[in-house]
Homo-oligomer: A and B are copies of this chain.
Amino acid sequence: MNSMFRLMPIALALAAGSARSQGVVISGIADAAARSVSNEGRGSVKSQVSGSNSTSRLIFRATEDLGGGMSAGVHLEHGISLDTGTPASATQFFDRRSTVSLSGQTWGEVRLGRDFVPSYVNWSRYDPFSYVGVAGSNNLVSATPQGPIRATYGTAPNTTVRSNNTFQWFMPGNWGGLEGGVLLAPGEGGVAANGQAKVQGARVGYLTKQWGASVAHTRSENDLTAAGGAFTDQALGGSVDFGMVRVSAVQRRFKQDQAKQTNTLLGAWIPIGLHEIKLSWVKADLSGRVGATAIDANDASQIGLGYVYNVSKRTVLYGSYSRIDNKGAATFVVPGGPSGMAGGGTSSGYEVGMRMGF
């Protein structure tokens, strides 16, 4: 055998990710689309948007092998509005994640910094639209109309997705399908207007290649919850992969004082070679009251339909459609449409775009 061919695999292997072993790994997602959204009685708006298949981002990561099955790691993740070059958060540059951690093969990972809360992780994994775009299930999670979320945070940053100041423990990857963790964050004052909240949460699940089920609980306190009790956020879901189709079902319950919001999602992924069809149905059910105002009538539902063409492993073209039907005073909308829709209106939108992983 020629020595050249003997050496090829070595050289290739060595070159395959040398940045990975010795330094900082930079990666990210660039995703942009053309969107049109119509809101009942208000006409429509055409726009260019960022992150409709997956949020545009830039990531810096590094790990250090400490020996004995232990390692240290850093993860800094910046969200980008690619259409304008603007940070996704005006104040938090590494808004998506900013953590340092210590991991051990037998005992898992201890992670400090800004990160997702357990209930979000346990909801978004079951959403075929990954909580983004015209058909993302995030459209039915907002401070408008008023419900437990608005009662707890007003228009200040909330903890329905991420939390600052987290101390987390994650199970290791070798507990036979079991996965999950615990999160604690000090309130540091707990002033909602400052984006502060004391957070406690946990998540546990069982995952195989064909099916999985998981449950999570997150509890947040701040100065606005002092009177009526903590804001709680629970998510229970599961999914089954039948090969021709993967289906999911998940329910999430937000509660604070007398106000409750229950969101339910049914999802489906249908792979057809390089193509994929995605379907989702989401329902938001508000009940109880905020102060003296009854909110029971303010429900909404959303249907989402998506198509993804995998040009390569990293690059996709996609199109999505969604429609939200509000009841009562509910004004949930597809993002990017004209403002001022009346309560109970219908909002719909579609988009065509491109995503590149790098």
The distance in angstroms between the C-alpha atoms of A292 and B304, with both chains bound, is: 53
A51-69: which residues lie under 8 A (CB-CB) from chain B?
A: 56, 58, 60, 62, 64, 66-67
Task: Verify if A209 is at the interface (C-beta below 8 Å from B).
Answer: no
Is A176 part of the binding interface, using a Cβ–Cβ cutoff of 8 Å?
A: no
Q: Which residues of B contact A62 (CB under 8 A)?
A: 28, 356, 358
With known contacts A6-B4, A7-B4, A85-B92, A23–B21 Cβ distance under 8 A: no
Q: Chain B residues with Cβ under 8 A from A21's Cβ? A: 14-17
> Does A42 count as interface, using CB distance less than 8 angstroms?
no
Once the chains are docked, how many angstroms separate the CA of A264 from the CA of B12? 49
Copies of this protein chain in the complex: 3
C-alpha gap A64/B161 in the complex (Å): 31
> A272 in the interface, Cβ–Cβ < 8 Å?
no
Tell me if A25 is interfacial: C-beta within 8 Å of chain B: yes
Contacts of A7 in B (CB 8 A): 3-4, 7, 10-11
CB atoms of B10 and A10 under 8 A apart: no
Q: How far is the CA of A164 from the CA of B84 in the complex (A)?
A: 5
Question: Which of the segments A30-38, A116-124, A136-144 contacts the partner chain?
Answer: A30-38
Does A354 sit at the interface, judged by CB under 8 A? yes
CB contact under 8 A between A16 and B20, given known A32-B112, A48-B166, A91-B86: yes
In the complex, the 5 A-B pairs of residues with the closest C-beta atoms, listed nearest first: A17-B20, A85-B98, A85-B94, A62-B358, A14-B15
Chain A residues with a Cβ under 8 A of chain B:
2-4, 6-8, 10-12, 14-28, 30-34, 45-48, 50, 56, 58, 60, 62, 64, 66-67, 70, 72-74, 76, 80, 82-87, 89-100, 102, 112-114, 164-167, 185-186, 188-189, 311-312, 314-315, 353-356, 358
